[in-house]
Amino acid sequence: MQGYDKYAYEPFAVTVDLAVLTLRAGALHVLLVERGQEPYAGHWALPGGFLLPEESAERAARRELAEETGLADVSGLHLEQLRTYSEPDRDPRMRVVSVAFTALLPEPPEPRGGGDAAQARWLPYGSAGPLAFDHDRILADAHDRIGAQLENSCVATAFCPPEFTLGELQQVYETVWGTALDRPNFRRKVLATPGFVEPVPGAARLTGGRGKPAALYRAGTATTLHPPLLRPSREGRPA
C-alpha cells in the first residue's frame, strides 16, 4: 500500500459492463448492443463504458443505463454490483478492468439506440450467439446471481411495475428459475413474509382478459426474505 507513484505502474482502463435483464411476454430478455468495429465487429455485447474521472462505478453504471435505455429516471431502478473481471487478456487491445453490474427493469421501453452504441436491442436470454469479449460469462454469472437472489431477497419486485399481481410476481420466479411453482403455496408464502408486498386497497386488474380480476400489490419495505423461498430442489445445484 505504498509506492504511490501514479505512473510507476501501467495504467489500467476501468469500465463498467451492464447485464440489464427484464421480462417481456413471459421471457427473460437482455439489453445488448451490436458492435460496429473490431474486435468482435458484428457481435452483440453488453452495454458499458468507461468510468469518468470523478465518478464511482455505481454512478457510471447508472449513467450508462440511462443512456442505453433512454429512460428519463433510472434513480429508482434496481442496480447491483455483480463482480469485477480483470483477466489480462479479456480485451485484446489493452488492459481493461471491468466492474460488472446487474440491472432489473420492469416493462422496458425500446432502447433509444443512441448513446455510444450503433444499435441497442432487447434480445431473449440465450439467443444471441457468442457475445463479445467475456460477456457470455458475465451474463451467465448475472443469471446465476439473480436466480440465487430470488431465494433470499425481494428483488423479484424489481422486475414488476409499481403495482402488480401475485401472478405476475410468480411469473418472475418461474421465468428466471425455469420451473413451475404451485400458485396457492406461492401466494401464501409471499403474503406470510412481512414487508415483501403490501396490498393496494380495493384495486384489481384484469390479467389478459379472461379470468377473475387479481388484487394489486406494491413492493414492500423488506429487502431480505426470512425464511428463504427455496426453488424446487434439483440435486447439486451450482452456487
**Cα separation of 166 and 170, whole Å?**
6
86 binding partner (options a copy of itself, DNA, none; Cβ < 5 to 8 Å by kind): a copy of itself
Residue from 213, 221, 224, 237 touching DNA (CB under 7 A): that is 213
* Residue closest to 113 by CA, chosen among 68, 47, 50, 60: 68
From residue 215 to residue 234, the character string flagging contacts with DNA as x (rule: CB under 7 A) and all else as - is x-----------x--x-x--
Q: How many residues does the chain have?
A: 239
Q: Is 211 in the site for DNA (CB under 7 A)?
A: yes
The item of DNA, a copy of itself, none sharing an interface with residue 11, based on CB under 5 to 8 Å by kind, is a copy of itself
Write out the H or E segment, with its range, that includes residue 185.
helix 183-192
Q: Name residues contacting DNA, limited to 98-157 (CB under 7 A).
A: none
Site for DNA in 179-198 (CB under 7 A): 182-185, 187-189, 192
Q: Which amino acid is at 13?
A: A
Nearest approach, Cβ of 238 to DNA (angstroms)? 19
Phi, psi of 143 (to 5 degrees): -60, -45
In three-state secondary structure terms, 1 is: coil
> Residue 207: which of DNA, a copy of itself, none does it interact with, CB under 5 to 8 A by kind?
DNA
Piece of 31-39, 161-169, 171-179, 210-218 that binds a copy of itself (CB under 8 A) = 31-39
Nearest to 33 by CA among 139, 131, 143: 131
* Nearest-angstrom CA–CA distance, 232 and 177: 9
Q: How far is the CB of 95 from a copy of itself (least distance, A)?
A: 7
With CB cut-offs between 5 and 8 Å by kind, which of a copy of itself, DNA, none does residue 130 bind?
none
Cα–Cα dist 75/62, whole Å? 8
